[in-house]
Structure 1
Amino acid sequence: MVTIAVNRGRPGGVRVKICGLTEPAHVAAAAEAGAGYLGFVFFPKSPRNVSIAQARGLALEAPFGVAKVGLVVNPSDAELDAILAEVPLDMVQLHGAETPERVAEIRARVGLPVMKAVGVAEAGDLARLPAYEAVADQILVDAKAPKGADLPGGNGLAFDWRLIAGREWARPWMLAGGLTPANVAQAVRLTGAAQVDVSSGVENAPGVKDAGLIRAFIAAAQGG
Structure 2
Amino acid sequence: MPAVQIKICGLTTRAALDAAIEARADYCGFVFYPPSPRTLGTAAAHELAAHAGTRIGKVGLFVDPDDALLAESVAAGSLDVIQLHGSESPARAADIRARFGLPVWKAVAVAAAGDVARADAYGGAADLVLFDARTPRGALPGGMGLKFDWSLLAAYRGTLPWGLAGGLAPGNVGAAIAATGARLVDTSSGVESAPGAKDPDLVRAFCAAARAA
Give the structure-2-normalised TM-score: 0.96
Aligned-partner SS, 1:125: helix
1:72 corresponding residue in structure 2: 62
1:190 corresponding residue in structure 2: 179
1:25 corresponding residue in structure 2: 15
1:211 corresponding residue in structure 2: 200
Listed one character per residue, the Cα deviations across residues 142-200 of structure 1 (whole Å, up to 9, x for unaligned) are: 00111221x11101000000000363341221100000101000000000001100000
Q: Is the 8 A contact 2:20 2:203 kept in 1?
A: yes
Aligned-partner SS, 1:17: strand
2:209 corresponding residue in structure 1: 220
Alignment of 1:93-104 (within 5 A): 93-104=83-94
2-side partners of 1:187 and 1:208: how far apart? Answer: 24
Alignment of 1:76-91 (within 5 A): 76-91=66-81
Give the structure-1-normalised TM-score: 0.92
Within the alignment, does 1:54 sit opposite 2:44 as a pair?
Answer: yes
2-side partners of 1:85 and 1:66: how far apart? Answer: 16
2:151 corresponding residue in structure 1: 162
Q: Is the 8 A contact 2:116 2:131 kept in 1?
A: no
2-side partners of 1:36 and 1:119: how far apart? Answer: 23
1-side partners of 2:177 and 2:75: how far apart? Answer: 36
2-side partners of 1:136 and 1:56: how far apart? Answer: 25
2:120 corresponding residue in structure 1: 130
The structural deviation recorded for 1:63 is: 4.5
**Runs of 4+ residues deviating >6 angstroms:** none
Aligned-partner SS, 2:212: coil
Q: Is the 8 A contact 2:192 2:198 kept in 1?
A: yes
Aligned-partner SS, 2:121: helix
Within the alignment, does 1:41 sit opposite 2:31 as a pair?
Answer: yes
Listed one character per residue, the Cα deviations across residues 63-100 of structure 1 (whole Å, up to 9, x for unaligned) are: 42421000011000111111123321101000111011
2:190 corresponding residue in structure 1: 201
1-side partners of 2:78 and 2:31: how far apart? Answer: 14
Q: Which moved more, 1:203-212 or 1:140-149?
A: 140-149
* Structure 2 counterpart of 1:60, one-letter code: A
* Structure 2 counterpart of 1:106, one-letter code: I
2-side partners of 1:205 and 1:124: how far apart? Answer: 33
Q: Is the 8 A contact 1:56 1:86 kept in 2?
A: yes
Q: Is the 8 A contact 1:48 1:207 kept in 2?
A: yes
The structural deviation recorded for 1:62 is: 1.2
Give the CA RMSD over aligned residues.
1.3
Aligned-partner SS, 1:222: helix
The structural deviation recorded for 1:107 is: 0.6
Within the alignment, does 1:108 sit opposite 2:93 as a pair?
Answer: no
2-side partners of 1:34 and 1:146: how far apart? Answer: 33
2-side partners of 1:157 and 1:84: how far apart? Answer: 28
1-side partners of 2:200 and 2:123: how far apart? Answer: 33
Aligned residues: 213
* Structure 1 counterpart of 2:44, one-letter code: Q
